Structure 1
């Protein structure tokens, strides 16, 4: 079963962290990747740029509009994800709890219901 472990971050919270605390988050991701690579559960991961560098595209009545900024305003934003291949949702939740972002904001766990095999 494949699951998407979706990480969220609050930029205000992130900016309040010291350089050492931010580095601990990065180091935690390195440790986490070592765990899921070692167990064979890692499919892939991506880190995303800040929402300030987002373009949101809509098409209404055939007209394409692009605006700067995220579609969903708010304090937290999607900052990256892992795709894991595990035996159960319980294991996916267990892995999500190991991601450093879970201690700062949240990590969503969603089962992948369609996969084209290209990761």
Structure 2
């Protein structure tokens, strides 16, 4: 079964990192991606640009509107995702728990809905 791991953290916490600390966390993240690729769990991963670059789009009664920034004002913002394959939710949680950014933020795990 496929699961989406939404990686979230407080951008203000990242701003406190030194260049070396950020480079080390990035190195750990890339190594973890290679590890779950080797185990057959990795499907895809992408990091997102800062929440400052976000635009929220709505379509109400055929009229498109946009708002700068995310829809919800929260401390933690979605920073990226990892799409994985796991036997069940317990395995998906184990994999998500190993994501290095979970040390400073959170990882929301959701099963992918099959539509057909």
Report if TM-score (shorter chain) is over 0.5: yes
Q: CA deviation at 1:85?
A: 0.7
Alignment-derived partner of residue 52 in structure 1: 52
- After superposition, residues 70-109 of structure 1 pair within 5 angstroms as 70-109=70-109
Distance 1:18 1:115 in 2: 44
Summarize deviations over 1:30-60 as a string: whole Å, max 9, x none.
Answer: 1111111101111111211111111111123
Gaps of 5+ in 2: none
Tell me, yes or no, if structure 1 residue 11 matches structure 2 residue 11. yes
* Aligned equivalents of 2:45, 2:82: Cα separation in 1: 4
| SS of corresponding position for 1:113 | coil
Q: What is the aligned length?
A: 116
Structure 1 portions without partners, runs of 5+: none
Q: RMSD of aligned C-alpha atoms?
A: 1.5
Shift of 1:115: 6.5
Question: Structure 1 segments of 4 or more deviating over 2 A?
Answer: 59-63
| In the alignment, structure 1 residue 111 sits paired with structure 2 residue 101 | no
SS of the equivalent of 1:49 reads coil
2:114 and 2:53 mapped to 1: Cα distance?
28
Structure 1 position 23 matched with structure 2 position 23: yes
